[in-house]
Structure 1
Amino acid sequence: MKKFSWILLVALTLQWQAGSSIFVTDMETKYFSAMKDAVMVEKYEFPLTVKLPPASNNTFFLGGAGVRGMDIDGKFVKFTAIGLYLEERAKSKLADKWKGKTEEELSASNEFHRDVVIGPFEKFIQVTMILPLTGPQYSEKVAENCVAIWKSLGVYTEEEEKAIKEFLEVFKNETFPPGSSILFTQFPAGALAIAFSKHESFPERATAVINNKLLSESVLESIIGRNGVSPATRKSLDQRMSDMLKNVAKNKVEL
């Protein structure tokens, strides 16, 4: 437990450095496999649709799924399995601009991934532990690097400082053994709902809701952005969305 936690903490520190590069190998394509009703990432299943995640009344489809890991001393160490879900109306919202684009075109476009992050639809992220992790290990590194980036961009205000304190407080007493999950539900207006699950089922209510748009967007940006911590999830998103957007009618009425 201590050895895994130490390795994970070192890796988190390296991954979250601004401009850091994350080693991606061909082995990552073996970390998830398609099933009839779910995508398997390692031994964890991510269903193709999710209904009523914490704090939401909507239905979501699986946008992408993959591992978060890092090359340490020549070995790819996997830390978490991530499932990214988008509200159903995301298809029509993204189709006008990205319909017909190939996986390669989406992969090369930071603008596409940014449109997913800031799009006017809800997102749901399930982060399931492969290795054990404590709440403070997770939240403190996220907070530290968010603050550093925001300060460099000149967007760190008292509101962001308050949001970070709330974020740290939510995770303070949490521990995450393998198989447990951190659940984020993100809303277009900027709220970020946080919940925890020790099993495959989702809790009905969120543990906390933080109303800060910058923090909410940064959680997803950190996963699928240009220097995101899960290139595998980003690649899966590009593959799946390229296929799904081909089937969206041009004149489909938006929800």
Structure 2
Amino acid sequence: MSQSESVTGVQVESYLFPPTVKSPGSANTFFLGGAGERCRDVGGKRLKGSAIGLYMEESAIPSLAVKWKGKRAEELMDSAEFFRDVFAGPFEKFVHVTLILPLTGKRFSEAVAENCVKQWKAAGTYTDAEEKAIEKLLEVFKAEICPPGSSILFTLLSHGSLAISFTNNHCRIPEVANAMIEDKQLGEAVLESIIGKDGVSPAAKKSLAVRMSDLLRDNEETEGETM
């Protein structure tokens, strides 16, 4: 049995993220790395605005195990390098964002774009290509209305493109992406904005660290049994 077959689903508020999923734009099956809420300030109150599930393809486990097997969850949580190896790793990722509070696509994409541009400028990697990718991102989202229970789906594909999809039902993932943006940095920046140093969902980040620590330990034990 592969390590990913042992993962469980995670409940965030009333939304269950299943152990495995198929995503739009990819033929791979993804396992649930972690899940948690993102909070928003509404009327001076801190409220849960969305539920986020972070998925990866099976090859993520041996890829991450090379450097991170045997590390405790606390060590992973405190390591910016570990999370960088997740969002920039040579394996496909899938991000499932379900709205708890209503939000327009325009507002959502503007917040994502602001975070991405901030990251790129800080790293000195903001080029004309990234500027055009942001323009495409804003265009894809501008007419979308996202009521509670609707989902925004991002698939970071192996060839570097970012597939974007929308669904009005958390449990129903479409087979075909609504849009495809060919910019590797954009996909990585979207994921970094969630689990990076200043990521918007500390809960999803912690969940990922805890669950991946267990999976990587299981991977190490399985390797030991086969030697």
TM-score, structure 1 as length reference: 0.80
**What is the percent sequence identity of the aligned residues?**
59
Which is worse superposed, 143-152 or 190-199?
143-152
**Aligned twin of 1:194:** 164
Tell whether the 8 Å contact from 2:119 to 2:189 is kept in structure 1 after alignment.
no
Change in CA separation of 1:71 and 1:134 when aligned onto 2, cut-off 3 Å:
closer
Aligned residue among 34, 37, 40 for 1:67: 37
Once the two structures are TM-superposed, the CA of residue 146 in structure 1 deviates from its matched residue by: 2.1
Aligned residue among 157, 161, 165 for 2:127: 157
Tell whether the 8 Å contact from 2:116 to 2:193 is kept in structure 1 after alignment.
no
SS class of match (1:56)? coil
Within 5 Å, give how 1:112-151 maps onto structure 2: 112-151=82-121
Q: Within 1, Cα distance between the matches of 2:139 and 2:88?
A: 25
Q: Deviations over 1:188-225 (max 9, x none)?
A: 33210000010121111000010111111000000000
Tell whether the 8 Å contact from 1:92 to 1:252 is kept in structure 2 after alignment.
no
**Aligned twin of 1:10:** none
Q: How many residues align structurally?
A: 217
Do structure 1's residue 241 and structure 2's residue 193 form an aligned pair? no
Tell whether the 8 Å contact from 1:119 to 1:188 is kept in structure 2 after alignment.
no
Aligned residue among 166, 180, 187 for 1:209: 180
Change in CA separation of 1:71 and 1:171 when aligned onto 2, cut-off 3 Å:
closer
Within 5 Å, give how 1:80-119 maps onto structure 2: 80-119=50-89
Once the two structures are TM-superposed, the CA of residue 141 in structure 1 deviates from its matched residue by: 2.0
SS class of match (1:57)? coil
User: Which 5+ residue runs of structure 1 have no aligned equivalent?
Assistant: 1-35
TM-score, structure 2 as length reference: 0.90
Q: Within 1, Cα distance between the matches of 2:167 and 2:199?
A: 24
RMSD over aligned CA atoms reads: 2.0
Q: Within 2, Cα distance between the matches of 1:218 and 1:227?
A: 12
Once the two structures are TM-superposed, the CA of residue 183 in structure 1 deviates from its matched residue by: 0.2
Q: Within 2, Cα distance between the matches of 1:115 and 1:236?
A: 16
Once the two structures are TM-superposed, the CA of residue 145 in structure 1 deviates from its matched residue by: 3.3
Q: Within 2, Cα distance between the matches of 1:179 and 1:151?
A: 34
Aligned residue among 40, 44, 47 for 2:11: 40
SS class of match (1:121)? coil
Do structure 1's residue 167 and structure 2's residue 140 form an aligned pair? no
User: Which 5+ residue runs of structure 2 have no aligned equivalent?
Assistant: 1-6
Q: Within 2, Cα distance between the matches of 1:43 and 1:110?
A: 30
